Structure 1
Amino acid sequence: MNTTIYFVRHAHSIYTPDEEGRPLSDKGFCDAKKVASMLENRELHSIISSPYKRAQQTVEKLAEIKSLTINVIEDFKERRLAEEAVEHFDSAIKAVWKDELFAYEGGESNLEAQRRGVLAMENVLEHNRGKNIVIATHGNLMVLIMKHYHNQFDYDFWKQLTMPDIYQLTFQGNQYVEAKRVSGADVLF
């Protein structure tokens, strides 16, 4: 019996220093409707989200269409890069992806964020065997979780993600089988 996880990377948001309360932009709200239309004809049993507003807003329309409640799981929040905003985001991200143990002051290393995300993922898999689950989350954390199951999900993969983006992961029990982009792409790994 297969379990299907639809990872939804949140849509475009308006930048604010309030990481948790940052809302979607107008474009993000339009794209959230596209997320809903891409998944509305699939059998879904549950929708889970990061506590961050932009992730929840990305799946609100889908939840409404499917008459499902959005269940918030804290550990699907984005990885904390640093306590304070970093001056050069691109080079800061490259540094943490280059060394999975490296963390900026007050931030999570890739390994720490991955462990948190994978534990949350394993809990979802354990309690939802044979079901189809949507998880609205964030690019870095999503790819770190996916990397746990296959090493080809790396910094370069993260760089090519769009906002929003949807990946379907198939599991037999807790055993990873495959991943594919929902837009219709072939199996990735």
Structure 2
Amino acid sequence: MTNLYFVRHAHSAYTPDELGRPLSERGFTDMPKVNEILTAENIDIVIASPYKRAIQTVEGVAAYIGKEIVVLEGFKERNLSPVPVEDFNHAITKVWDDFSFSLEGGESNNMAQARGVETTYTVLDNYKGKNVVIGTHGNIMVLIMNYFDSQFDFPFWKKLDMPDIYKLTFDGKELRSVSRLWERR
């Protein structure tokens, strides 16, 4: 069995700089609990999206196991639009209502999901039988989970916490179980 620990990044204050946006004070306050949960899981490897907030969320685990974070582009957040959208809630609802719809220059759910699943399969091939932390983002995480089990949908995404941690157990490339490890104190 291979265990993938998908970690939605901790809270970050919004800025238009998607790549460089750091964790907020609240995000850093949640880091000890993230580290406590994940270091108890006998982690072998830590992977992250290239976005600063995703890396910051899992860097304590990487330090604990004494390994560098492997950065994989495929786990970056879905590109809803290359420019800030006027009504985020309307835009995000629209792409979840129609998986083939995308805003101009953005990714549809189908496109983002295909990218995320391809990257997940690569991780499953490269780290078979390992415990792998993946620092990522809410939308791409749920799109990946949705590919393997449709119960992980838009209403599920809306209920995610920041951070949030889900353990997905795979037998080869078949999802066997999902469990939530994060609980706000």
**Does TM-score exceed 0.5, indicating one fold?**
yes
Deviation, 1:33, is 2.0
Look up the match of 2:150. 151
User: In the TM superposition, what is the alpha-carbon distance from 1:44 to its structure 2 partner?
Assistant: 0.8
Q: Secondary structure at the match of 1:47?
A: strand
TM-score (ref. length: structure 1): 0.95
1:31-81 CA-to-partner distances (Å, cap 9, x unmatched) read 122100111122111000000000000011121122121100011100000
- Number of aligned residue pairs: give it: 183
Is residue 9–residue 53 contact of structure 2 (8 Å, CA) maintained in 1?
A: yes
The one-letter code matched in structure 2 to 1:23 is P
> Match for residue 74 of structure 2?
75
Q: What is the rounded CA distance, in whole Å, between the counterparts of 1:5 and 1:83 in structure 2?
A: 29
Report the TM-score, using the length of structure 2 for normalisation: 0.97
Structure 2 CA distance for aligned equivalents of residues 126 and 39 of structure 1: 22
Instruction: Name the CA distance, whole Å, in 2 between partners of 1:151 and 1:141.
Output: 14
Q: SS of 1:84's equivalent? A: coil
Where in structure 1 are there 5+ consecutive unaligned residues?
Answer: 185-189
Answer whether contact 2:44 2:65 (CA < 8 A) is retained: no
The residue aligned with 1:86 is 85
Corresponding letter in the other structure for 2:45: S
What is the RMSD computed on CA atoms of the aligned residues? 0.9
Moved more, 76-85 or 58-67: 58-67
The residue number in structure 2 matching 1:111 is: 110
Q: How does 1:27-176 map to 2 (within 5 A)?
A: 27-176=26-175
Q: Secondary structure at the residue paired with 1:135? A: strand
TM-aligned CA deviation for residue 87 of structure 1: 0.7
Between 83-92 and 118-127, report the one with greater CA deviation. 83-92
Larger mean Cα displacement after TM superposition, 30-39 or 19-28: 30-39
The separation in 2 between residues aligned to 1:91 and 1:176, in whole angstroms, is: 31
Give the share of equivalent positions with the same residue, in percent: 54
Aligned residue number for residue 187 of structure 1? none
Q: Which structure 2 residue ranges, 5 or more long, are not aligned?
A: none
